Structures are given as C-alpha cells and as structure tokens.
A = this chain, B = another copy of it.
Amino acid sequence: MKKIINTVDQVENQMVEGMVKAYPQYLKKLECGNVVVRADKKEGKVALISGGGSGHEPAHGGYVGEGMLDAAVAGAVFTSPTPDQIYEGIKAVATDKGVLMVIKNYTGDVMNFEMAREMAEMEGIKIAQVVTNDDVAVDGSLYTVGRRGVAGTVFIHKIAGALAERGGELEEVRAVAEKVIAGVRTMGMAIRPCTVPAAGVPGFELSEEEMEVGIGIHGEPGTHREALKTADEIVDMLMDKILADLDYSGSEVAVMINGAGATPLMELFIVNNRVFDILAEKGIKVYKTFVGEYMTSLEMEGFSISLLKLDGELKELLDAKADTPAFKA
C-alpha cells in the first residue's frame, strides 16, 4: 500500500484536523470526535447535518458553511459514523427551527443516523430526515438495501441548504430536499480501485483492459465488468441508463461530472464534452455544469455523471449564495 499518510489509525483524525486548520473561517471541530460544524453557529435556521464514512472528501466537511451544511460527521474510512457522534453533531447545531439529516442510503448510515435521531428527539430536538438514493446502477448491493446515495447528494446539500439559510421551515426544507431526490440520478464507473488504509489491499482488481460499470463510491460492484471502451462509448452507456430511469425530456438540468479521486480533470472535461452533446441532441437544456471532485472514493480512478431536473424554485436555490470550503456560489 503506497499512500501519503502517517499511521493507518490516524488518517481520519489527521484529515479532519488538517481540514479545520485549512479553513478556520468556516469550520470548527467538536471535542467529541470527527464532527465539524460551522465556525459561527447560525441561530434561527433549520440546521442541516450530513456525514458518512471518511474517504469521500470533500464530502461532507467541505460543504459546511453558509448556504449548505451546519455539521458533518466523519466515520472511519468507508464506515458509518457512530450514533453517538451523530448525536453530538445534532446537539451542537440544533436550533428551535429543527434539524434536517441528509443521509446517503447505506444500511449502516441509515441505522446510525436514525438511532441518533431517537436520542435527539428524547432531548426535545425537532428533527426530520431525507435519504438520498440517486445511483441508478443497481437496486441493492454490498452495503445497501435499495439504491445507493452517491454524488447527487451534493445537490441536496446545496439546494436544501439554500432554503434553510433563507429561513425555510423544517417541513419546507425537507420537502425541497425530497424534490431534489426525486429529480436526480447518477451513474458511475471506474478503471482503477482504491485501497482502504486499514485493509492495506485494493477493494477489487481490474486488469489493464477492464473497467467496472455502475460502481459504488466504496468500490462496490456495479452492473458488470467489461473491456475498457472509449470515453464517448462509456458516457453513452451511462447516459442511456440514467435517461431510461427518469424522463428528462423538455427539462432543464444541472450536470455534475464527479471525479472518483484519481481521475485527471482533463478526462472529466472529455467526459463532459460528450454528456453535453447527448443532452443537446435530446433537447435537454443544460442550466449549469459542475466538473470536479465532489464525492470521491480515496484514489479510485473513474467518474460519475449526475443529472438533476430543475424547475424555477430549484434553479433559484442552486444559484443562491453558498460559501463553504469546497463549494462557492
């Protein structure tokens, strides 16, 4: 295992410390563990909390700040945070207007966030939740019942976060998050695996001629493995599946081309070149495009495409001010 780290048991702590030291204007870390919250708590708004295993940086700590999240909870690499950790995060950011939990659909995450919710409700905290499940590749996989929550989650942070920031009530913020979940679809692929530090060996292996299609953000198997194709052929395959899953015809969309961690930005732009052309052919208008690393998988090499169907409300909230380490609008 070749990594730029110190010891395997310190990667999460030192990552969170390094992030907070980079962005003291945005973040502070709670004493109780790897939970980051806004440097200045904002009262009078619905608080958004998200999180999950580490290894997906900048998700989710990079999205803590004005117009997005109030707290992010980081578990061990690719491992759900504990209910206690999540509960501490909730307590730190809860306001009278309540708390919305944004949970990616993985069995461990859902279970632990829901346990934390019960703990918080016993303390009288008003709380609601949404579960993101944007990955169209497979229905049920290694760590999940139902579809997996992947890069499209960042659109929930952005849009629900914007409504919370402008004073939306808990039920309104939850409803707009559900609207985003209903309109966002994602599919990914990879050409090289990643290695969880504590495991020391890659999560899967691919030959020099193979790719994994429909892969999850922890390297979980997708729909199938096949010979590596050209970028355009790969995009065609992923877009076919996304567009078959939801009717985007006549819509305006936001596009996210998300790098898995080790993919050169050059290749992500080559991918976008084709995505844009496919959408143009189909009369689907691109309102805004995001290309970069939004929800990574350590040093996995690959990408995902997310499409979000927009209406007037979602466009306005997507464009609203956001000021966080990893997302500014």
A residues near B (Cβ < 8 Å) are 2-7, 11, 14-19, 21-23, 54-55, 57-58, 62, 77, 191-192, 194, 208, 228, 230-232, 234, 255, 257, 261-274, 276-277, 286, 289-293, 296, 298-299, 301-303, 325-326, 328
Contact = CB atoms under 8 A, between A and B. Distances in A.
A14 B7 CA distance: 41
Contacts of A262: 261-264, 299, 301
Given A262-B261, A264-B298, A6 B270 contact: yes
Contacts of A328: 328
Contacts of A17: 269, 273
Contacts of A231: 4-6, 14
Number of copies: 2
A228 B2 contact: yes
A31 to B, nearest CB: 17
A21 B270 CA distance: 10
Contacts of A57: 264-266, 269
B2 A270 contact: no
Q: Which of A18, A55, A325: most chain B CB closer than 10 A?
A: A18
Contacts of A293: 265, 293
A267 B6 contact: no
A273 B18 contact: yes
20 contacts: A2-B208, A4-B231, A4-B267, A4-B270, A4-B303, A6-B232, A15-B270, A17-B273, A19-B269, A21-B286, A22-B289, A55-B264, A261-B262, A262-B262, A262-B264, A262-B299, A263-B299, A264-B298, A264-B299, A265-B293
Given A262-B262, A262-B299, A273-B14, A267 B5 contact: yes
Q: Which of A263, A273, A299, A328: most chain B CB closer than 10 A?
A: A273
A269 B14 contact: yes
Nearest to A197: B266
Contacts of A23: 289
Contacts of A292: 326
A2 B267 CA distance: 12
Contacts of A208: 2
